[in-house]
């Protein structure tokens, strides 16, 4: 913030507080105003954006004990003093220096005169003029003043299902055309966003860089789907396998198949669980869920049809839909 602002701006008035306001009341007032004028709540409203900058600047000074003391001292010197943007040399400070020259016969300022002024701005700081908080740039939308953070950059990438579950480091092209690497963690889900801290656009005034936000699209797999860390697969079985029981093979993602026991009388839709064969991440490992689906043959030869007809005559005369109809009637 330019030193001129310390004379021109009444930070107490900007925040609407008294000069003896406590730290707690100052913070409470600031937060209320910040919520009201924050750019995220007033998109496109330049007046609100300007007001937010003003209250952030005011709070950044008044919330810091040292800066507040310096500010009060400078304001106490009088509204008539000005740091101007004069020409060469120190001409821009002549109005302030003249206040310390009165009563000295109008002589030229000596090193002692400068020490009188500089010590006012550097009390208990042990630094030279301009090296402390006085004159420090301010602004931005961080709520406490300070340099503005750089903008985020959004990138998009599409990866296959196995890459999403296993994890991999991929290379993308940045805004400037240069490649950059992105580590895809194991278990990333469709539409998930990966944030690369400090890899976005630079700050316009020396603050932190923005981030790169990579939105990930995962291609569907022809066999497997995701349920959190679990993998799900639909496994067809024949009528006789489901009725009489059988041992079947079930595929796994990127590995050898596993054998599962289908118990006699297993209905269509029952889920069989294979522990530890789901998605493996640093936060845990999921399971493989195999959903049994009874496959109905679409073609029967005469012998098979005759055998089924004999079975139909022998099967229990229970109506499998009786319970459904009873529940539907209430």
Q: Average of pLDDT values for 81-105?
A: 42
Residue with tokens 């609407």: 16
The helix-helix angle for 94-101 and 111-121 (nearest 10°) equals 110
For 34-69, the pLDDT digits (tens) are: 888 887 777 778 888 888 888 888 888 888 888 888
Average pLDDT of the chain, as a whole number: 79
**CB-based contacts of 280, cutoff 8 Å, min separation 6:** 186, 187, 286
* Gyration radius (Cα) of the chain, Å: 37
Two tokens, residue 289: 């869920």
For 174-186, the pLDDT digits (tens) are: 877 888 899 999 9
The pLDDT assigned to 145 comes to 56
The pLDDT assigned to 101 comes to 42
Which position has the higher pLDDT, 260 or 95?
A: 260
Residue with tokens 């599962």: 260
Residue 129, pLDDT > 60, answer no
Structural domains of the chain in order of their starting residue, each with its CATH number = 4-121 (1.10.287.110), 153-218 (2.60.260.20), 225-297 (2.60.260.20)
Q: Please give the Cα distance from 330 to 326 (Å, whole number).
A: 7
* H and E: helices and strands count for the chain: 11, 13
The pLDDT assigned to 6 comes to 66
The pLDDT assigned to 7 comes to 64
Which position has the higher pLDDT, 160 or 120?
A: 160
In three-state secondary structure terms, 256 is strand
The pLDDT assigned to 132 comes to 37
Count CB atoms within 10 A of the CB of residue 218: 20
Residue 85, pLDDT > 50, answer no
Please state which of the ranges 11-25, 133-147, 248-262 shows the lowest mean pLDDT.
133-147
Q: Average of pLDDT values for 269-287?
A: 94
Element (H or E) spanning 305, and its range? helix 302-314
Q: Average of pLDDT values for 208-235?
A: 94
The pLDDT assigned to 264 comes to 95
For 19-39, the pLDDT digits (tens) are: 899 988 998 898 888 888 887
């Amino acid at each position: 913030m330019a030193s001129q602002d310390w004379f021109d701006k009444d930070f107490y008035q900007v925040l609407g507080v008294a000069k003896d306001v406590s730290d707690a009341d100052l913070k409470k007032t600031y937060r209320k105003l910040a919520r009201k004028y924050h750019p995220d709540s007033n998109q496109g409203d330049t007046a609100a954006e300007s007001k937010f900058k003003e209250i952030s600047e005011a709070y950044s000074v008044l919330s810091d004990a040292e800066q507040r003391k310096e500010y009060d001292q400078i304001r106490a010197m009088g509204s008539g003093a000005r740091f101007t943007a004069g020409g060469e040399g120190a001409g821009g400070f002549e109005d302030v220096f003249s206040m310390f020259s009165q009563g000295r016969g109008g002589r030229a300022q000596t090193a002692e005169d400068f020490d009188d002024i500089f010590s006012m701005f550097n009390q208990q700081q042990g630094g030279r003029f301009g090296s402390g908080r006085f004159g420090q740039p301010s602004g931005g939308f961080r709520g406490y003043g300070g340099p503005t953070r750089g903008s985020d950059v959004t990138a998009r990438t599409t990866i296959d299902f196995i890459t999403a579950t296993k994890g991999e480091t991929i290379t993308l092209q940045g805004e400037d055309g240069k490649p950059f690497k992105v580590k895809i963690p194991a278990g990333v889900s469709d539409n998930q966003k990966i944030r690369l801290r400090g890899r976005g656009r630079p700050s316009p005034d020396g603050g932190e860089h923005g981030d790169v936000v990579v939105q990930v699209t995962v291609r569907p797999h022809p066999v497997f789907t995701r349920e959190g860390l679990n993998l799900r697969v639909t496994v067809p079985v024949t009528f006789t396998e489901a009725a009489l029981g059988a041992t079947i093979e079930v595929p796994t993602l990127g590995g050898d198949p596993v054998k599962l026991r289908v118990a006699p009388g297993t209905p269509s839709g029952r889920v069989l669980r294979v522990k530890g064969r789901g998605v493996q991440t640093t936060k845990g490992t999921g399971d493989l869920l195999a959903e049994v689906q009874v496959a109905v043959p679409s073609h029967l030869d005469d012998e098979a049809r005759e055998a089924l007809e004999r079975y139909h005559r022998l099967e229990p005369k229970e109506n499998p839909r009786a319970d459904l109809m009873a529940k539907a009637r209430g």
